[in-house]
Chains A and B, each alone.
Chain A
Amino acid sequence: MSDIILISIYIFVLSVFIGIELIAKVPPLLHTPLMSGSNAISGITVVGALLSTGAGNTMLAKILGVLAIIFATINVVGGFMVTDRMLEMFKEKKNK
Chain B
Amino acid sequence: MSTFTNWVYLLSAILFILGLKNLSSPKTARRGNTLAMLAMLTAIVVTLLDQRILDFSFIIAGLIIGATIGAIGAKKVQMTDMPQMVALFNGLGGGASTLVATSEYFQMTGEPQANILATIMLSIFIGTLTFTGSIIAFAKLHGIMKGSPITFPGQKIFNGLAIIAVIVLTILFVQDPGCLPYLIAVLLISMVVGVTSVIPIGGADMPVVISLLNSYSGLAAAATGFVISNNVLIISGALVGASGIILTKIMCVAMNRSLANVLFAAVGSDGGSASGASGEQKQVTRYTAEDAVVMLDNAQSVIIVPGYGLAVAQAQHVLQELAQILAQRGMDVKYAIHPVAGRMPGHMNVLLAEANVSYDLLYEMESINDDFKNTDIVLVIGANDVTNPVARTKKESALFGMPILNVDQARSVMVVKRSLSVGFAGEDNPLFYDDKTMMLFGDAKKMVTEIVQNLKK
Contact = CB atoms under 8 A, between A and B. Distances in A.
Contact of A42 (B62, B109, B236, B345): B236
B93 A29 contact: no
A36 B87 CA distance: 9
Interface in B270-306: none
Given A34-B23, A78-B70, 13 more contacts: A8-B229, A12-B234, A25-B24, A41-B36, A41-B240, A44-B232, A45-B220, A45-B221, A61-B103, A65-B99, A74-B89, A76-B70, A77-B67
Interface of B: 16-17, 19-21, 23-27, 29-30, 32-34, 36-37, 39-40, 43-44, 47-48, 50, 52-56, 58-59, 61-63, 65-67, 69-71, 73-75, 77, 79, 82, 85-86, 89-90, 92-93, 95-97, 99-100, 102-104, 106-107, 109, 113, 115, 119, 210-211, 214, 217-218, 220-222, 224-247, 250, 324, 327, 337, 339, 344-347, 349-350, 353-354, 356, 358-360, 362, 364
Contacts of A18: 17, 238-239, 242
**Which of A52, A62, A71, A81 is the most central at the interface, judged by chain B CB atoms within 10 Å of its CB?**
A71
Interface string A58-96: 101110111111111111111111111111111111111
A5 B239 contact: no
Nearest to A83: B33
A68 to B, nearest CB: 4
A68 B246 CA distance: 27
A49 B247 contact: no
A8 B226 contact: yes
B237 A42 contact: yes
Interface of A: 1-2, 4-5, 8, 11-13, 15-20, 22-58, 60-62, 64-96
A68 B241 contact: no
Contacts of A23: 20, 242-243, 246-247
